[in-house]
Chains A and B, each alone.
Chain A
């Protein structure tokens, strides 16, 4: 066949092909530009977050020079990361009589009102040893041994006393958001009731129920 004839024939034959290619391009680009997949917006704020914790606790507070009494309180915590948390706690206890008052039988050192001890503290906590504990072969609970340290104020014997606290605790997570903890803290504040100002160590041992929310 002559070259010129072949060229024309090719051009004519390819025209519909080009049209088809252009067409399919349109259809394809139509599909590519507007995918029919539904765009689902991911919104992290819609995920239920549980960074806060509330605790109700009860235990014993050994008030130095006075007797040991029951303390009740609440704590409100915020978990910054898996390792650190901050906590505000409020507790109250009633001090009894000092040995001196019992033995001497003289006038009481403090009035009833002044014997009411109240403290509020803000602490930083550190989850030192997270892990798992096995109650039986099949029953396991997540646990964490943690340290706390903080400052605050104790109102006792008619005065507000600057307090430092440090302690340790052991928490067992029984259910998703519910846990029980046993905590031992030392509340250190100054007392000036017996002549000189002295720093007193008041040990507190409590059991608390926590809820994450």
Chain B
């Protein structure tokens, strides 16, 4: 009997391996059917819900009521985004808004976990365009500025700002261009230095007798701090000093004017 057992065991082993082999091959069968439907509906991206369920709100906000719930495993199309909310639609045609947090728990068609581009501190330091407004005081008069900046490198940006200051006896408007230097763009509170020049126009108020407009050019130096607040928003505090080159015949000393501002900007 010993030799029978001797043949029987390897024989069994042989059989079991050959039986298993096709089974192993089956688990990695390609999912071409799913890939084809994606190409057809290329306009909208598709994901599969991996969370036990996902809640759909009627509007893009937590304050809007939940009116539908989608189960795990359902495939949805992402129609659009508004702030941190995505409008998704199931194959049955039911659409609603789901928050970014909930969408993080979905899967791509290939089975990978979806990584949504949550604009993080990293993106903040990689931003290209900035558009913002700030308000403050220019030599004791309120000033209000609109600015836009473009990142040249990680540490330098070129900025153009238009300012409007309304004082008791005069109104000033200025247009300046700056170089913004950020030595440490990765910090949460990132300091920056500005250096620039521009033109300022001072229009004395109508209540003054014989008002005369004054035009002057100036150079400006400033420091400030930027802080990333949310997805694409930042807060900015700055203090600037302007040296206005006098072109009037009355004064021949340049005027030095200080300004401080606080503002917010959108970056993208």
Residues of A within 8 A of B (CB): 1, 5-6, 9-10, 13-14, 16-17, 20-21, 24, 27-28, 31-32, 35-40, 42-51, 78-83, 86, 88, 122, 124, 127, 129-132, 140, 142, 144, 151-153, 157-162, 173, 192, 197, 212
From A80, which residue of chain B is reached at the shortest CB distance?
B233
Interface residues of B in 49-65 (CB under 8 A from A): 58-65
For the A-B complex with A50-B82, A122-B146 known, give 9 more contacts whose Cβ atoms are closer than 8 Å.
Answer: A1-B2, A13-B14, A20-B18, A31-B28, A38-B110, A78-B266, A132-B65, A159-B206, A162-B142
Cβ of B171 within 8 Å of any chain A Cβ, yes or no, is yes
Bound state CA distance, A160 and B205, in angstroms?
Answer: 8
B106-122 interface code vs A (CB 8 A; 1 in, 0 out):
00111100111100000
B64 to A17, Cβ gap below 8 A?
no
Which among A24, A131, A132, A162 has the greatest number of chain B C-beta atoms within 10 A?
A: A162
Interface residues of B in 68-94 (CB under 8 A from A): 78-86
A147 to nearest B CB, angstroms?
14
Cβ of B133 within 8 Å of any chain A Cβ, yes or no, is yes
> B31-39, B184-192, B217-225, B247-255: which lies at the A interface?
B31-39
Which residues of the partner chain B approach A152 to less than 8 Å between Cβ atoms? 144
Bound state CA distance, A173 and B82, in angstroms?
Answer: 14
The number of residue pairs between A and B whose CB atoms lie closer than 8 Å in the complex comes to: 170
A149 to nearest B CB, angstroms?
12
Which residues of the partner chain A approach B63 to less than 8 Å between Cβ atoms? 82, 127, 129-131, 144
The 3 nearest A-B residue pairs measured at CB: A36-B30, A130-B63, A1-B3
> B5-13, B148-156, B175-183, B236-244: which lies at the A interface?
B5-13
7 A-B contacts (beta carbon < 8 Å): A6-B6, A47-B81, A78-B266, A82-B63, A142-B64, A161-B166, A192-B207
Cβ of B260 within 8 Å of any chain A Cβ, yes or no, is no
Which residues of the partner chain B approach A86 to less than 8 Å between Cβ atoms? 133, 264, 266
Q: Which of A45, A50, A82 contacts B84 (CB 8 A)?
A: A82
A50 to B80, Cβ gap below 8 A?
yes
Which residues of the partner chain B approach A127 to less than 8 Å between Cβ atoms? 61, 63
Q: Which of B10, B14, B35, B62 contacts A37 (CB 8 A)?
A: B35
Residues of B within 8 A of A (CB): 2-3, 6-7, 9-11, 13-14, 17-18, 21, 24-25, 28-32, 34-35, 38, 45-47, 58-65, 78-86, 108-111, 114-117, 133, 135, 141-142, 144, 146, 164, 166, 168, 171, 205-207, 230-233, 264, 266
Which residues of the partner chain A approach B232 to less than 8 Å between Cβ atoms? 80
B44 to nearest A CB, angstroms?
8
B37 to nearest A CB, angstroms?
11
Bound state CA distance, A117 and B230, in angstroms?
Answer: 36
Q: Which of B31, B38, B117 contacts A44 (CB 8 A)?
A: B117
Which among A82, A86, A131 has the greatest number of chain B C-beta atoms within 10 A?
A: A82
Which residues of the partner chain B approach A78 to less than 8 Å between Cβ atoms? 266
Bound state CA distance, A26 and B18, in angstroms?
Answer: 15
B206 to A17, Cβ gap below 8 A?
no
B246 to nearest A CB, angstroms?
23
A162 to B85, Cβ gap below 8 A?
no
A48 to B233, Cβ gap below 8 A?
no
